[in-house]
Structure 1
Amino acid sequence: MDFRQISCFVAVAEELHFGRAAARLNLSQPPLSQQIKGLEDRLRVRLFERNRRSVRLTPAGEAFLPYAHQVLNAAAAGADAARRVAGGEIGELRIGYSASALYSDEVLATIARYRRRYPAVEIRLVENTTRTCTREVEAGRVDLAIVRGPLPETAEGWPADRRIVVSCERLLVALPADHALAGRDRLALAELGDERFVIMARQLGTALNDLLDRLFAAAGLRPRIALETAEMASLLGLVGAGAGIAIVPEAVTGHRSGHVAFRPLTDRNAEVELFLLLPPLPSPTAVRLRAEMMADGAG
């Protein structure tokens, strides 16, 4: 038996009228009758009793009807699931991200809205450095990545639709709230030569450290490193405790405390870009998130 035969059987069983069933299926009556006969021949039973006045199910037809409904319902559910997977509405979304990327309000709002709109998508968040996230995207181990620049050289050569700028933020000086320089409106790196810095751990190979190295070199400054830490939250805590000062993306000010003051840097190029990285053939779930992020105005 085939799917068409089962569809014809259900239509006749529900209408109990070949003419109405044929119209419902957009068929003429002879092909419909042929489909029913073919099904009866295949099952080796009569499914309908019919005469000039009426059509009714035989006991065999009544027994077969609920199973026929199950077949049609399962096929419809399967087709719907296939469409939803292809459309990115169900499935899995693996997101790589660098340390401070999720401090961005725009990114957090986009992911939260995506969760609400597509609850059947399982989101997995994987933290790594920008360099490692880039490799993970290229290897297909994550569906996309949200990372701070600068990008590694390998990603700099990617086409624009694979490395989308989500936002560009100012870099700020984070100081203890009672620091003498906290009274200033803005600061330049050249004024910080006597300060001790708290930075993200060098061994992590963070993109933020790469950017700061460039800025320090341009300012002719060799920073004195007081402490290194693996977490942005810890870095801010150390600043608040008076261990040193730090250079951070503007987004982290959303997690400010009364112990830390933030002042903008006036140096040229004292800004950091946030990127959305995608593989050459992004998954449907990744395409959905990209659309959400662009609609959110984050790009």
Structure 2
Amino acid sequence: MRVLITGGAGFIGSHIVDAHIEKGDDVLIIDNLSTGFEENINKKASFEKIDIIDDLHNIFESFRPQIVNHHAAQINVRRSEKDPIYDARNNIIGTINLLLLAKKYQVEHFIFASSGGTVYGEAEILPTAEDYHLNPLSPYGCSKVAGEFYIRSLLKDSGIKYTVLRYGNIYGPRQNPLSEAGVIVIFITSILKGEVCTIFGDGEQTRDYLHVYDCVAANLLALDHPPGIYNIGTGIETSVNQLIEILKEIVGRDFEYQHGPPRPEEIRKSCLDWKRAREVLNWRPRTSLRSGIAETYRYYSSI
């Protein structure tokens, strides 16, 4: 299988690359390395350093991908607030560029990484199912919703299958500690450096944390099951304060932490209903939060 993976030098994308290489697939990575790292790139994969908004015709012409797995994105919510044009250029125009090429070269299946943590906004029903109304509160969330609608619009009646995966908060090895989305890894690196962990607000804001290996499993299962829109999470709310307590247990000692001012744009609670993924994709989260954080702590302790 010829698989083109955008963002394949990044956190989630590089793990998906590894999984396809292990399956024996022919993998081509597209990444501009703005947030990805060369050391994440599997040596058995081909690599093109290029932006998804650039002219990619020659790449599609020569590689002829059967699968496009689209993970390249601007993922910083605060940057999307400060520079929504930059966010839209990457997340909307870049996605459209890929969709038009997927149609032209008759890709078999298009997988899109969306954001279950932002597309529903401040949902009144938790865990939140896929049929809950979309209400993004940030330009980043808007760009993900727009991507989903462009996929439906441009790929309808094309014969191309498409799957949208709405992720919870993914964490694990290779996550960039400078990324705002990676609170678990941010805390771990602060602890290892002897720095103070900062909790924004009262720490009672919740997220649905999913280990990256479970996320990868959903991407692979999507290829062999009916296309559609799927929440990929655990259905469990975990507060930032609870993360601190779990980390204390894992580290085996106290560490310094402080409360900073709340982030005004931050969603208070987020949690995903993954029943559809269980019933249709035969997928389930298999990594408990405590064991996943412990494995992630060991990883960052060793590098």
Q: TM-score, normalised by structure 2?
A: 0.28
Q: TM-score, normalised by structure 1?
A: 0.28
More helix by share: 1
Structure with the greater alpha carbon radius of gyration: 1
